[in-house]
């Protein structure tokens, strides 16, 4: 039986975090690999997008954690603890976090990613018009830019395809202009 089949059986074919029956997939709980059902949860796409910080946290979506955190499976408990920690500014989440008990090993697993130290906000990359940017987007320069350390000049209206988002700085992207990879400030571009 595959890990996904075991998780479907274990969860009754519903998200182990919010109980939604829709759009389910296997999530390997970091920093573990997907080598065992013990290191995974079955989660809906809404939960996954928020866990992986692809979307802002929707507080109301996570209210079901006060029930699902009591799962007998450590992987579910770990993800519940992490999400409750990120939502700790909500009184119901703080109350749930206070009564959720994890043994020493599971608590160490839950703290390993450092996710619990962050708040619930997620910073995204936005262009000069406030439009959200995604990995692989095409953008257009809204200002002529002089490229530092090069004689290259990127003219207003230059199209930059297949951008990469700079992970540690939501005000920067990487793109290629005339074959050279450069860092561009998001305030100088718009989504194409």
pLDDT at 118: 66
Segment 74-112, tens digit of pLDDT: 999 999 999 999 999 999 999 999 999 999 999 999 999
pLDDT at 104: 95
- Considering the domain architecture, whether residues 12 and 106 belong to the same structural domain is answered as yes
pLDDT at 119: 61
> Quick count: other Cβ atoms within 10 Å of Cβ 144?
12
pLDDT at 98: 94
**Closest among 54, 180, 191 to 136, alpha carbons compared:** 191
Q: Which run of H or of E encompasses 164?
A: strand 164-165
Q: Which run of H or of E encompasses 139?
A: strand 139-141
- Considering the domain architecture, whether residues 32 and 100 belong to the same structural domain is answered as yes
Average pLDDT, the chain: 91
**Residue 20 maps to a domain:** yes
- Considering the domain architecture, whether residues 73 and 164 belong to the same structural domain is answered as no
Give, in order, the Cα–Cα distances in Å from 162 to each of 109, 123, 139, 143.
36, 20, 8, 19
pTM: 0.71
Q: Say which CATH number the domain at 160 has.
A: 2.30.30.40
Q: How confident is the model at residue 120 (pLDDT cuts 50, 70, 90)?
A: low
Query: What is the total count of domains within the chain?
Result: 2
How far apart, in whole angstroms, are the C-alpha atoms of residue 118 and residue 57? 12
- Considering the domain architecture, whether residues 70 and 163 belong to the same structural domain is answered as no
Q: How confident is the model at residue 147 (pLDDT cuts 50, 70, 90)?
A: confident
Own/partner pairs, 150-157, CB within 8 angstroms, 24+ separation? 150/180, 152/177, 152/178, 152/180, 154/182, 154/184
**Residue 133 maps to a domain:** no
**Residue 166 maps to a domain:** yes
- Considering the domain architecture, whether residues 98 and 184 belong to the same structural domain is answered as no
**Residue 184 maps to a domain:** yes
140 touches 117 (CB < 8 A): no
How far apart, in whole angstroms, are the C-alpha atoms of residue 48 and residue 50? 5
Instruction: Decide if pLDDT at 9 tops 80.
Output: yes
Q: Which domain holds residue 63?
A: 3-117
What share of the chain has pLDDT > 90, as a percent?
69
Instruction: Decide if pLDDT at 113 tops 90.
Output: no
């Amino acid at each position: 039986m595959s890990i996904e089949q075991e998780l479907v059986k274990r969860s009754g074919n519903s998200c182990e975090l919010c109980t939604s029956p829709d759009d389910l997939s296997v999530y390997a709980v970091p920093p573990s690999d997907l080598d065992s059902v013990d290191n995974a949860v079955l989660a809906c796409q809404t939960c996954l997008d928020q866990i992986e910080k692809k979307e802002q946290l929707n507080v109301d979506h996570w209210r079901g954690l006060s029930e699902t955190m009591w799962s007998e499976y450590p992987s579910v408990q770990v993800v519940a603890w992490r999400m409750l920690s990120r939502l700790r500014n909500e009184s119901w989440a703080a109350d749930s976090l206070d009564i959720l008990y994890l043994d020493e090993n599971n608590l160490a697993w839950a703290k390993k990613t450092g996710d619990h130290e962050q708040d619930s906000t997620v910073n995204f990359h936005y262009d000069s018009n406030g439009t959200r940017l995604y990995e692989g987007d095409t953008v257009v320069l809204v200002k002529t830019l002089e490229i530092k350390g090069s004689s290259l000049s990127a003219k207003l209206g230059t199209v930059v395809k297949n951008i990469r988002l700079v992970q540690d700085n939501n005000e920067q992207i990487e793109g290629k202009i005339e074959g050279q990879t450069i860092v561009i400030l998001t305030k100088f571009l718009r989504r194409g």
